[in-house]
Amino acid sequence: GQQVMQIPQYQHVQEGEDFTTYCNSSTTLSNIQWYKQRPGGHPVFLIQLVKSGEVKKQKRLTFQFGEAKKNSSLHITATQTTDVGTYFCAGISNQFYFGTGTSLTVIP
């Protein structure tokens, strides 16, 4: 069946370092979304990518959708303590398939 995998599962970075999480699907996706979940909280929508090869930026966050629409990445430049949380991708084909998430810890 459909699988969406994310790596790494955990990442610890020093404040100011960059961070990247990768999302890979076993099948072609129509869209991909990214969500952030703060510790103890609920997922909050960040962005949606639709087009093959699409790149979108939100301040220090850069999102990419692969050419084959089977993978995506989220890159954070110069992490801050406010970036702490778990980042999920959600691949969309006939329904939503969330990735396993990457938990980011930022060390001050």
Q: List residues binding another protein (CB under 8 A).
A: 1, 4, 6, 9, 30-31, 33, 35, 41-45, 48, 88, 90, 92, 95-101
Minimum distance of another protein from residue 50's CB (angstroms): 8
Minimum distance of another protein from residue 17's CB (angstroms): 24
Q: Output helix, strand, coil percentages for the chain, rounded to the nearest 5.
A: 5, 55, 40
Between 51 and 78, whose beta carbon lies closer to another protein?
A: 51
Q: Do 6 and 21 form a contact (C-beta atoms < 8 A)?
A: yes
**CA–CA gap between residue 42 and residue 15 (Å, rounded):** 24
